[in-house]
Amino acid sequence: MVSKTRFWYPFILLMFLCAGAAMDTIRPGNHLNSSTTVVSVGEMFELGFFQPTDSEHYYVGIWYKNIKEDPVVWIANRDYPVTASAFFGISDDGNLEIKQGRIIYRVTDMTLPNANVSAKLLDSGNLILRDENSSILWQSFDFPSHTYLPGMKLGYDTRIQSTWSYVSWKSSNDPSPGNFTLKLDSGPEKQIMILNGDAIYWRSIRSWGDSSNYFEFPVETRLNMYNFSFVSESDTAYLTYNIYRNDTISRFTIDATGQLRQLLWLDNEWSVLNSQPGQPCEVYAYCGANSSCSNVSSPICSCLPGYKPSSVEFWNNGDFKEGCSRKNELQCGKNDGFHMLTKVILPQKQLTREVQSFGDCRSSCLSNCSCSGFSYTDRNCSIWTGELINLQQLPVNNSSGTDFYLKLAATDLETKKSSSNMRRAVIVSVTVTMTVFTSAFCFWQVKVKRDKRKGQDLLSFEVTMSPSHTQEEQCKGRWQVEHEKEVEIPLFSFSSVSAATDNFSFSNKLGEGGFGPVYKGKLLKGDEVAVKRLSRQSGQGWDELKNEAILIGKLQHKNLVKVLGCCIERDEKILIYEYLPNKSLDTLLFGTNAMVTLPWKTRVRIIEGIAQGLLYLHQYSRVQIIHRDLKASNILLDEDMNPKISDFGMARIFGGTEQRATKRIVGTYGYMAPEYALQGVFSVKSDVFSFGVLLLEILSGKRNTGFYLSNSLDLIGYAWDLWTSKRPLEFINPETHDAYCPIAATRYMNIALLCVEERAANRPIMSDVVMMLNNELTVLPSPVQPAFSNARNVQDSSQSIPETSQNKLTISVIAAR
């Protein structure tokens, strides 16, 4: 865990403590010469003259008393070295000064009313100058050198014109100020940065400005030694820390090579716990502008696509600072396009704002001539203008990183295409002399590889070519396992999906479900598809997600909406479905302008279809799928009014299959089984509950939730009331009285009430439900009082709402969609 690096900064510490005369304070009149020192009370630190190895210079400094290896933590006169004949002490006017015959360096320069001051070295390593009343006039902690000790600050205070920043030594034996400065950026982002001269050399990835408690400092925190605190007010901002145990010796230094190191004194040597920058790619602008850095490639810098080295000569000699410039200037208009880079750590200096969709983000970059690229995550649209600094390319097998869309001139985008076309042409022409078979094989391989990486073009996809379910249609509701052949569902490219939906334009939006918005997509041949763009909460990796999507794509049943393919490109997870023009069941059942009342026959067909689809998901598909959000709006109807369940398998994609209980409750109030709504426990029986509610809604033509909210009984309670008072037929939607069969209707109501029983164990499974629906001879059990219906008794008597009802309301808020 702790990498041990031995430092070799030996010093000749010239002076040793005068025997017995240990003192920690310098008073007016007593000076230190090159062989005397003061030592803090606890013998932690020592103050005096020291001479770096191989140097004839003497410096006044503070070092660890009992550490011989790289002990110096503070230097008074970095720029003003002296010789062995110098003295350090308090002058007549009360200031600290270094004298060598004459005054060489005034460490402090104050006008003091009273010269009776004293300088004391504390066990923290702080040298403080006090007046006779013990007020602190000056302290060495306010004038850091290269070591950031516990109790010191890193930051600034503009009120007192203080800046606490740390400057490296020039070299390991020259304490004069070097090239590197560790400081806190005074901008709004409050990043910790290392400057090389005036140029940024490194900066902490995350800024501290935005969230009060979060901070990122390159600290090995596993040892839990530090108590960091960050103070940020209008004029002042600084980071300070202390160490919990007073016997731990640890510090941060900025060394002559620009490394910020976290050191711990352990087993008689300094162990490096952390060192930044960790690798060349983390050095700011190591590769110059408009390039990408990848520490696994060689050379580690390369120009971004569409860019070429600004100076080929320098670049080829490994000097990347000049960066890269465009091959072709942007047209600044319609002719520009984007090239996607995956798995990158984004360049610095972006502008982030919230947008509605990827398409909005893309077009805002396209419409701004100075935009050079964008990235889109979770409605956050980041736009980069001008040059791109510090873009890092991660290895393909790294799980982190984001997508970045680089804006290029059309000619550069085309060149990319035609160069691969050219490659193909070359392959073909070279193989002219070979057998046709071989060349065809090569060609095919190139194509297959491209397709694999890029995904297919949705626009030219033929809907009718997708696996069909004509077979099942012939079987009239029989579902068979056999049709689950090994069909690979197509993976489409994001750009083609985006094109089909006109950049996910609002006018193409069909609706918004809990898992994300649904858009209508138009293909080249005029076919229409539904495009569901999943929101980003899925915690899964690309591969698992793809597997799930493919698995769901393989589920083919006439009562499930057919999945035609998917598109998974980094953060985008999209499922492409068949498009059903006939709306969803809820608009037909409860829509205010419902033009047709569903005839009884249609209702029966819908009920049976849903039951079949659900049974297939629960029992006959390759893996058991619990829908978790079955409701009227998730039932779509085809032109023959056959019901098709949509949104199935979402729970799987959203990682909800393995655990039995989940913190994230997806579902819709009114359809959720009590054990799921209240405890998050779900099973096939929770779907059965939702089915029961749906069944009641289809029978009555009334919405379960609306019923509740109108402050009347809820639909389940109402059904139960009528059932127990033996008036079940009053429950049936009067509009359907045309040709309905009272026996069947009563039967359906009985089944529905069995499905909504409070105890999950008492509810039937879907195969039982299907059997009860189909077989009129089955004797049905009598239902017991269903879930949720107890609340009504209280409401009837206008008493306060009981606990369970309160819970119910709360949950409806959580899960509302």
Ligand X SMILES: *[C@@H]1O[C@H](CO)[C@@H](O)[C@H](O)[C@H]1NC(C)=O
In angstroms, rounded to a whole number, what is the distance separating the alpha carbons of residues 120 and 118? 6
Q: How far is the CB of 396 from ligand X (least distance, A)?
A: 7
Q: Are 774 and 637 in contact (CB under 8 A)?
A: no
Length of the chain: 817
Q: How far is the CB of 41 from ligand X (least distance, A)?
A: 9
In angstroms, rounded to a whole number, what is the distance separating the alpha carbons of residues 154 and 275? 17
Taking the least distance from each CB to ligand X, the nearer of 279 and 421 is 279
Taking the least distance from each CB to ligand X, the nearer of 257 and 778 is 257
In angstroms, rounded to a whole number, what is the distance separating the alpha carbons of residues 322 and 302? 12
Taking the least distance from each CB to ligand X, the nearer of 283 and 606 is 283
Q: How far is the CB of 167 from ligand X (least distance, A)?
A: 12
Taking the least distance from each CB to ligand X, the nearer of 258 and 477 is 258
The phi, psi pair for 155, rounded to 5°, reads: 160, -145
The phi, psi pair for 577, rounded to 5°, reads: -115, 165
Q: How far is the CB of 377 from ligand X (least distance, A)?
A: 4
- Ranked by CB distance to ligand X, the top (closest) residue is 325
Number of H helices, E strands in the chain: 18, 43
Taking the least distance from each CB to ligand X, the nearer of 318 and 526 is 318
DSSP notation for 318-344:
T--TT-EEESS---SSTT-EEEEEEEE
Q: How far is the CB of 331 from ligand X (least distance, A)?
A: 13
Q: Are 294 and 281 in contact (CB under 8 A)?
A: yes
Taking the least distance from each CB to ligand X, the nearer of 275 and 785 is 275
Taking the least distance from each CB to ligand X, the nearer of 129 and 791 is 129
Instruction: Extract the tokens encoding 502.
Output: 């006109």
**CB-neighbour burial class of residue 396 (10 A; exposed 0-12, middle 13-18, buried 19+):** exposed
Looking up tokens 């052949």 gives 485
Active-site amino acid positions: 629
The dihedral sign for the CA sequence 580, 586, 588, 594 = negative
The phi, psi pair for 102, rounded to 5°, reads: -110, 175
In angstroms, rounded to a whole number, what is the distance separating the alpha carbons of residues 779 and 762? 16
CB atoms near residue 479 (< 10 Å): 22
In angstroms, rounded to a whole number, what is the distance separating the alpha carbons of residues 475 and 777? 23
Q: How far is the CB of 446 from ligand X (least distance, A)?
A: 22
**CB-neighbour burial class of residue 169 (10 A; exposed 0-12, middle 13-18, buried 19+):** buried
In angstroms, rounded to a whole number, what is the distance separating the alpha carbons of residues 778 and 111? 105
Q: How far is the CB of 269 from ligand X (least distance, A)?
A: 20
User: For residue 567, what are the β-bridge partners?
Assistant: 574
Distance of CA 488 to the CA centre of its chain: 30
| Closest CA relative to residue 567, chosen from 461, 647, 494 | 494
Taking the least distance from each CB to ligand X, the nearer of 34 and 292 is 34
User: For residue 383, what are the β-bridge partners?
Assistant: 351, 374
Q: How far is the CB of 160 from ligand X (least distance, A)?
A: 18
Q: How far is the CB of 179 from ligand X (least distance, A)?
A: 4
Relative to beta strand 391-393, strand 291-293 is: parallel
In angstroms, rounded to a whole number, what is the distance separating the alpha carbons of residues 445 and 439? 10
Which residues bind to ligand X, rule: CB under 6 A?
Answer: 33-36, 42, 113-114, 116, 131-133, 179, 227, 229, 242, 244, 246, 256-257, 279, 289-290, 295-296, 310, 323, 325-326, 351, 368, 370, 372, 377-378, 380, 383, 385-387, 394-395, 397-400
Taking the least distance from each CB to ligand X, the nearer of 6 and 308 is 308
